[in-house]
Structure formats: C-alpha cells, structure tokens
Chain A
C-alpha cells in the first residue's frame, strides 16, 4: 500500500519542473515547493531528494553552485541546464502518456 506522499518515481520530473520555473533554489526550498504546490499532498523525503539532486547533477541535467546567504551560511543552489530542459520535456510527455493511459484504464474497467 503506497503512502500518500510517495512520489512513485516522479521526483525527478517535479524537481526539474520546479527548477525550470524558479531557478536557483536550494534543497530545502525545492522540498518546500513540492509540498506547497501539491497542496501538502506530496512530500519529498530528504533521504530521496538529495541523492536524486546529486544524481541529476552527475547526469548533467542540473547545475549546482555554492552561494553565501545573508546569514553568512553557505547554501547549494541548483538550476536547469540545456540537457535538463530536454530531459524535462521527455519526462513530461512520458508522464502525460502514462497518466492518460492509466485514466483510460480507470474509465473503461
């Protein structure tokens, strides 16, 4: 039984989408954004978010940079690369295909 906040493999898509709209977010901000935008339905766990961010960074979809915040603390912010934009488009169309297929099944069954 999946938990309601389980992202079921769509974490990459959400992160890419959020970064495409609002570049320069750090990890915590991305996590909050997922929670806020989904109306508290979806939650990205820290344990999955950071490995996912690092994996996408190694894959070259997103680019990370260290900035120093007003508080003097350093934070690592992310933005989309050109490859990331392409990847977002692919993932989005795949998501559309999957959901519409699932919907068709739900309607006809």
Chain B
C-alpha cells in the first residue's frame, strides 16, 4: 500500500510539493497566531525548500521520480531532433513489426500447441527413405489395415489415432441444387476422448462409432463451422447432409478452440474413419497417424515396435506387387519409421512453409539488427554532441548510473514508440502474409491470436532492442571526463573519441555484412521465382477454364460427351475437352512401365486420361502421329492406345520415334499413336516427367465401357477473362444432364500461378526487406560519414587552407568507412555462403555461386554507399577554412 502510494506520489510530484508547502506555511501561520514574532518563527524554521525536499524524499520513491524526469527530458530531446528521431523510430518500428509478425506466423503454424490434453505427448508417424518414385522422401500417409496392426502392437504404450488429410468435399444439406463445400476429416472414433475434448452440443464420437466399415454415418461439426455456417443454431443436432451417395447425421458440435489437427486448415466436419471408402484397402494411404504416448513411456521402443509392425505389413503386401523391379520394392521396404513431435499439429502447410518462414524470420531479424546498429550509431553521435551537457551534469554531482539511466530512458522511450508502431505493423502484416498463401480453392486459414505469447515476445524484443542499441552509448556517455570537456577541449571523452569512431565503424561493418546477406538471399529467392514463373509450360493456359465435375453416380462416357457437346454450343466457348483432371490440378496417377514384355524399369511413368481434342484445347503441339479418335479406348483387351510425351519417348524408347511401339502397365497394354511436346504434369518445380496420355474412355475386364464419376471439362473460351463464363458454365452443365454438377471452377492460369505461391511470397517479402536493409545501411553510412566530417572539420579546414585538393579531402573522409564497407561485404559473403545450404531446398535452378547472384549485392551496396557518401563529401569539400579556423 505504502509502496503504491509512493509510486502514486512520484507520478503527481507537483501536487505533492504544493501540499507540503501548504503544510509548512500553515505551520508558520500557526506560530504567529500563537504570538510568536513571524520573522523569528521563519528564522527558526529555516529553509522551507530544504524541508520540502526532505519531506518529498520520504513521501515518494526517488528513482521513480527521476525516471519520470528522465522520460520528460528524453521526450524533449527526441522532439528537439524530430527528423532523426522519426527516422530511428520508423526504421525500428518496421523492423520490430516485421519480427513480431514473423513470430506470429511461426508461432501460429509451428509452435503453438494444439488445444488438446497434453499436446507434448503427441507424435506423428512418418516413413523416410527411397519411395516408389526413386527419390528420398518423407511421407506421413498410412493405409488403414496397417494402422490397425500398429495400434494393436503398441496399445499398452500409446494410443494411435487415424486422422485423414483434410479434404474439401461437396455436400448438400437440402436439395441437390445447393451443393456446398466443407473441409472434412475422417477421424478415429476415440480421437475426441483421447484428446480430452468435450462437446459444445450433443455428443462426440466414441470407439463404438468407428467399428464397421460404412456402418456409422454420423458427423461432428467443428465449433467454428457451426458458428459460421449455422449461426450456432442449437437445433442442428439430428440434421442430415448428403455427401456422395451417403446421408450423414449430425450428432454433436466440438469444443470451441479445436479446429482439427491440420494446422493451416480449419476442419468443418469430422466423420468416423470407418466411413472412408479406403478403410479396408491396404494399398490406399489416405490418413495420417498420430501417436499419443502414455505418460512415462520412452519413445524409441515404441518407434521400434511400430517400425517392425509396419515393415511386416508391407512385406506381406509386397508379395502381391506386380510390375515393379525387385530393387524398387526393396528400397520401399527399407524405409524407416519416425516419430515426429506433433504438439503443434501436423499439416502439409507446416512442411511447405517451415523453412521459408524460418528463412524469413532470420531475414527480418537481420533487418532488426541493422536498424539497431543504425540507432546505436545515431545515439553515439548524439552523445558526442552532448558531451558538454554530460560533463556539466557530472561536475554538479550526477552519479555515473544516473547518467546511464538518463540515456537508457531516452533509448527506452525510442524503443517503446517503435514498439507501438511495430505492433500496428504486425497487426496488419501477419494476416496479410497469410492471405497471400492462397492456392485457388484452398486458402490457408491460420488463427493468429494476439495473446500473451505475442505480447511477451514483443515486449522482450523491445527490451532487448533497447539494450542492444542503448547500452553502449549510455555507458560511453557516462564515462565523460568533466575537466577536459568544460575546459573546451576538442574531445570531452579523452581517448574515447577514437574508440567511439571505431565503434561506429565496426557497427557499419556489421550493418553492411547483414545487409549483404539479406540482399544476397533475397536475390536468390527472386531469381528462383523469376525462373520458375518463366519456365515454359508447354501448353497455353490463357483463356482456359477447368470445370471439375461430379456426377451423382458413375455415368457412362457417352453422357460425359453429351455434356461436352452441349458446352460447345455455349456462346464464347471455342473448344471443350475432357480430362481426368487439369494439368497442375493436384491429381496424379502413376505406374511402372514395361517395354516389349521386358520386366518393368525403376522409373515411374505418369498417366492422364483425356478425350479427343484435349491436346488441341490445351494447345500442346502434336509432334508426330495423331490425336485420339472417338472410338479409341484406354487399356483392356490389348486394344489401348496412348499419346506420349517427349520425355516418355526418351525414357522408354531411347529417343526413337515411339509411334506404333507398345508398352504395358501391369496387365494393360498400349500402342503409341502420337507424340506431344512435354508439359508439366503436377508441379512446376520438378523435372519433366514421362507422361502417357490415354483415352478418356476405358474398357473393363468384361469388355464394357467403364462408367466415370469425376472428371474435368477443359474449356477454351474466346474472351480474355475466362472467369466471365464461370457462372454460365455452372448452370449449363446440369442443364445438359441434371445428374452432373460442377464442383469447382478454376482457370488454368490460376493453377499455373498457384505453383509459385510460395516462391512469389518469399521473393516479394525478401525483396521488400532487402530494400529496407539497403535503405537503413545507407542511412547509417550517411550518418557516420557526416559525423566524421563534423568531428574533423578543423583538420579539414587546415588541409584546405594549405592547399589540399578536393579529391584528397574526399578520400580522407571516406577511406575508413569504405574499408569498413569492404570488410562488411566480405564478411557478408562468407555468411551467405555458409548459410545458404540451409535454404537450398527453397531454390529452383539457382546456385548460390552464380556470379550474377554474388555481384548483385555488391553493386547494390556500392551504389548505396556512394549515394550515402555524397552529402558528407560535398560538405567536407565546401568547408570554408577561413570561417572554420576563426570559429574557436
């Protein structure tokens, strides 16, 4: 209480002084009322001022008052040099904001624990090694029968939970006319219980909801979805929705904070794993597996047991493998099972963006350090200018710590103002960055709460930054030697003048080194993006609309062709073709190919079924042979035909003309009828794949045409903006045949752009920060050079007076700083070379050793240094020796 009141008193010092004065005056008045001579009473009383000070000291905490005084004084100092203060605050605010923003993203995506019981005991099961594709990979997908075995194997040490990849599904609540999309996850019935979650409404699943395949058509909604889609309607329990051919009943709503385990995606609906069509398939890896270790259980034995179980399962399954080489089967079996901590959930977004976010975090931290170095230099120069003031303070009795405190308070004021600005910047920029992670139809949704974690980070950052840029100047300022300063000597800090310049020069070297690193890395990211987005696609994406279409039940190809025929009559449509899915649309179908009855090779070939006219619609040049005809079919009874890509021909036919040649995939045999130019199949980043296009219609074992449930119409329009036709198309497809529904419309150009979302984001942000870093380093250089000229103006004046040339003066004032720039740049280069291997995987066809990549930062820094040096040099050369020498 008393402590608080003393703090309170410190904050209203004026009023306190008035009260004390009034009491003392009242004392004197009382004395004269009692008949004492007022003059004598006053004499006896002594100095009121001294009494007031004595009383003030007991009634408030002296250091708090001194803090307040320092804050007021510091504020005045900041106001006195508005331009430099504003520059310092702005650059720090930007850097602090960027760092906080990066922290928010990294925290939300990678660090923040899931809102479940004991998240630190959660692990995700992964397999690492050479997969079927022949590449080293880490894969976290599992087949349900394998999961069942593994669960039984470790049931005493851990609970295994199956959770499918979140999928955007089509479903309807009422009539089929109102299809909508929702993120759906198939989860083990015991997941909610194991996570210690309670329903907000109704009930959650239990183990009994997940026993027999297809027998539990129940759904639990996430709280977020319940709120967003149904306005928290309590009557939701018991409602049903149609998904595919099944009706699901809603039985409950999950707890508010829980949005699934796939960080970056907010799951809307949970259904039991037994409802997944792949629940009994041993060759369909469709879910992640999370392990929740029992308390006190060691990881390694559990991992070893899981590994053994998984390997035994795959060995058994491999007996049935056909069309694969022994070598690729062995490599596949030799994969290692890993347990990765999954306290923050497990998602593809984490895998994709972990490195990128950390790289960005390092970049913004470097920018922050550059900004700190700048402000430190600024404060050092200010402290020099205030040498006499400090000397005066020391000589009238200010203690050393009192001066340190004074300068630090000024720094803290600067830091706090910058933190406020940075907070605003982070508040805006983190959601902005998330909104850029938006592949079409699958925008990332990450909750970015501004809670105590973010606040604590921001405060710690501000404090650290303040000490970083404020402590050295504060200690330096307090080391002033009053005698020489007040004598009017040149350098109030004695020998400190020299070390001060050394400190400033060292800071310049550090700044340049970091700046070089930031520009270097930004250049690599920018080059990656540029090369990736300029990579030839081999097809024309302009004016192409892709309609992912779904039929109520699998329909014969002839009906699909009818719809295509109808779409061709719509005005504005040039051509329409059918494909299993659009190129770069995310779908993939692969297999091992054998030539002339030889055993299959180790290289995977990729397949896509397309209708006649597809190559034309995509404008993929036909190099040889012919396009498909209406009667062509894929596989079945030895009559399949195929069109292959150049890479396919090179890979499997040694570059000979493939026309007329035969190849087989498992039991299906194909004759090549056409050769087309290469086009990227599923990703722009990977090398071109050997692709075989096969006819849209295929024949099953009985010789009948196979019905088809999902496919995409590829529509080339005549208008420059194909999306203008989107709503027409959405209506025209069911108009042609009512059992067909468009579930998703995307432009092909959008799909191509989506390939570079991450690279675009990285390049954009890195270039932005490179610009900021360069600007800050330039400002820093300017400040130090200008300060140097100011310090040496007398020396320069004398040199000019005795006939020094302008060039000589310019060299003298810049040589120190420029040698620091070179030292810094060399250090930056070394740093860059050392660190670049951590982010190599983010590059595309860019090498850190490319001369262009190395020269660019050099040139940028050199240009910035020259521009920054110009004003100081001009100032030095223009020094008028007469007035300068007269001045003192």
Spell out A's residues near B (CB within 8 Å). Answer: 26-29, 32, 46-47, 50-51, 54-55, 57-60, 71, 73-76
Contact = CB atoms under 8 A, between A and B. Distances in A.
B137 interface: no
A46 B46 contact: yes
B181 interface: no
Name B's interface SS. helix
Given A58-B2, A58-B6, A74-B22, A50 B55 contact: yes
Contacts of B667: none
Interface stretch (B28-36, B202-210, B433-441, B826-834): B28-36
B589 interface: no
A73 B46 contact: no
B531 interface: no
Contacts of B2: 58-60
A74 B25 CA distance: 10
B887 interface: no
Contact of B23 (A50, A55, A71): A50
A55 B6 CA distance: 11
B44 interface: yes
A31 B23 CA distance: 14
B603 to A, nearest CB: 86
Contacts of A75: 23, 26, 30
A46 B47 CA distance: 10
11 contacts: A28-B26, A28-B27, A28-B30, A47-B51, A50-B20, A51-B51, A51-B55, A54-B55, A55-B58, A71-B33, A73-B26
B704 interface: no
Interface in B1-39: 1-2, 5-6, 19-20, 22-24, 26-27, 29-31, 33-34
Nearest to B52: A50
A33 B6 CA distance: 29
A54 B30 CA distance: 19
A46 B59 contact: no
A58 B58 contact: yes
A58 B27 contact: no
A28 B159 CA distance: 81
Interface string B247-264: 000000000000000000
B30 A26 contact: yes
Nearest to A46: B45
A46 B45 CA distance: 6
B58 A27 contact: no
Given A32-B34, A59-B2, A60-B2, A27 B27 contact: yes
Nearest to A60: B2
A72 B30 CA distance: 12
Given A32-B34, A59-B2, A74-B22, A46 B58 contact: no
B2 to A, nearest CB: 5
Contacts of B29: 71, 73
Contacts of B34: 28, 32
A29 B26 contact: no
A84 to B, nearest CB: 13
B30 A50 contact: no
B55 A29 contact: no
Given A32-B34, A73-B26, A75-B30, A47 B46 contact: yes
Tell which of B24, B34, B45, B58 has the most Cβ of chain A within 10 Å: B58
A44 B29 CA distance: 18
B246 interface: no
Contacts of A76: 19, 22-23, 26
Given A54-B58, A58-B6, A58-B59, A47 B50 contact: yes
Interface of B: 1-2, 5-6, 19-20, 22-24, 26-27, 29-31, 33-34, 44-46, 50-51, 54-55, 57-59
Nearest to A31: B27
A10 to B, nearest CB: 18
A50 B5 CA distance: 18
Nearest to A52: B58
Contact of A47 (B20, B33, B54, B59): B54
B4 to A, nearest CB: 11
Contacts of A27: 23, 26-27
Nearest to B25: A73
B404 to A, nearest CB: 28
A4 to B, nearest CB: 16
A26 B26 CA distance: 9
A51 B26 contact: no
A32 B35 CA distance: 13
Tell which of A28, A55, A75 has the most Cβ of chain B within 10 Å: A28
A32 B50 CA distance: 22
The 5 closest A-B pairs by CB, nearest first: A28-B30, A55-B58, A51-B54, A76-B23, A54-B55
Nearest to B50: A47
A29 B51 contact: no
Nearest to B56: A54
A27 B34 CA distance: 13
A55 B60 CA distance: 10
Given A27-B23, A75-B30, A58 B55 contact: no
A49 B194 CA distance: 71
Nearest to B2: A58
Contacts of A58: 2, 5-6, 58-59
B316 to A, nearest CB: 81
B26 A46 contact: no
Contacts of A54: 20, 55, 58-59
A69 to B, nearest CB: 9
A57 B1 CA distance: 12
A85 to B, nearest CB: 17
A55 B55 CA distance: 8
Given A32-B34, A54-B20, 5 more contacts: A27-B23, A28-B26, A46-B45, A47-B50, A60-B1
Contact of A29 (B23, B30, B57): B30
Contact of B51 (A50, A57, A60, A73): A50
A46 B54 contact: no
A103 B26 CA distance: 41
A61 to B, nearest CB: 10
B30 A46 contact: no
A51 B46 contact: no
B27 A46 contact: yes
Given A51-B54, A51-B55, A74 B45 contact: no
A63 to B, nearest CB: 12
A32 B36 CA distance: 12
B59 A50 contact: no
B24 A50 contact: yes
A33 to B, nearest CB: 12
A77 B318 CA distance: 97
Nearest to B59: A54
Nearest to B16: A54
A50 B46 CA distance: 13
Contacts of B33: 71
A58 B55 CA distance: 11
Contacts of B55: 50-51, 54
B26 A74 contact: yes
A56 to B, nearest CB: 9
Contacts of A32: 34
Contacts of B26: 26-28, 73-76
Contacts of A28: 26-27, 30-31, 34
Nearest to A43: B44
Contacts of B44: 46
Tell which of A46, A60, A73, A76 has the most Cβ of chain B within 10 Å: A46
Contacts of A47: 46, 50-51, 54
